[in-house]
Structure 1
């Protein structure tokens, strides 16, 4: 299996649209905050509204996953792209000080097209033989979107991308479950363990965000972590490590990140090297989830994906307290601990 076969199977346009289609998801948190602040909303209220939107995104992801199992990713992707574009358009015409600001921002979060989970469902249905390579590419595409998304953040840009990329991309999804494939009983205990592992990966991102902020260079450092993870995701399409080995490699990578925070190695280099070990581990989590899904891959992938934001919030909270006591190095000390949980799981 190779990326050449992946391109031949889907066409380069599908892969390019997939990168652009997931940018609105990466742009939304910052775009919402910018919209609220431009309207004169205070930081406290803006934070509360943004938090409500994050909860709505997580809830919407679970609904989208369930609907994808019932109706196929194509129909769900098309409907959510259109609904989200409409919600963003209405939000643009709403004053941030209106009572409607809260429900509109929540609606924008609830109707997110959830490109990442849905395209993984597409690959599971369409080309299960290419799944390891496809998931490696999608992991790299996710990282690229979170690097580019905040740079382009803005509700008008989001609206253009939803109409020009997310909608046409959804039309290219697989239509639904292949004939003869019925949903069975999901093994939820191993899925729960995988969700904890995904939350631990999210805690790594949350700790790096907090530590980078305390260090005074949150944007560049987080971007370097994303660059490293994207590179690692692409490499994992060629070199597939056993699941336990990928966990051990992640532990080594996160130890390097912590060492960079303490000045043992240059922190920028530590971010790239450590980041390169994240995506390969996440690919293994998605592959394992697909194996336990029993035909309900949309629901299972949505549940697994929801673990990431929850873990990010937990990582930010713990790292924040440690930062108050020990500075940036305290926040980065969370990273290898979270990686150890990944290894154990």
Structure 2
């Protein structure tokens, strides 16, 4: 690990200015991902800007919905009475992610920004366009069991690792960020990028923009929700496929549906067409399976992840059934 400077500004502007003035500075909060990247030689900041003194930990509810500060810990959010009442889908996703020890350190903003766990990204002896643009993608012809079936390019087939982000994508969340030009709001579904020709860029954020908060609108998704995570083991493991499902119903008719997937793309994968298909239809296993098949249009597997073409629609249908309360 390279030597680095460490500062801990108490003001938001000072933190942003530090990254604006120093191209090799990085924000750090919980450090659960960044420190791993530094130890492996995948990140080499010359200055760490610790933002933990900033007042960004508040969890509050107003007329527009729930606002969660970027420095709120994953464990605190999952245990918060207000969050458990208003957004149980987020709670389920948080509790499915990482280990208890990591959730006690990981922040909401850091969780959103964590980098892929693709082994070709982490092994500096192997080619990876995300780590070293232009070097190639080792996963394309390598062992790609964990990799994408949607939205990939010939430059990168890695997937986004966050469980929490899948729920936020389904819940129409917005991310509030600040930079030298002031604050702006970004729809969560627009925040993360598909790899395209620049897989090294995970999000549309500028490097000196700071996440301040996450806003989740107050919509009727507090009862019929389910987060399903298919993984290799029940303990700490990243998703092979995950599904965040939320339904609103009136007399057994679906009035609104929200569905997103993890483990299948470079970003949380929102299933807009499947949602539209379900709206106005009766709650039924047949309709859920039809929606799942619709959601799979355009999916493509590689040598070792063809199982996802079956696991993904089965997971979508199962998550919807669980959300609806169908045994």
Higher helix share: 1
Higher strand share: 2
Q: For this structure pair, what is the TM-score category when the shorter chain's length is used for normalisation?
A: under 0.3
Q: TM-score, normalised by structure 1?
A: 0.24
Q: TM-score, normalised by structure 2?
A: 0.25
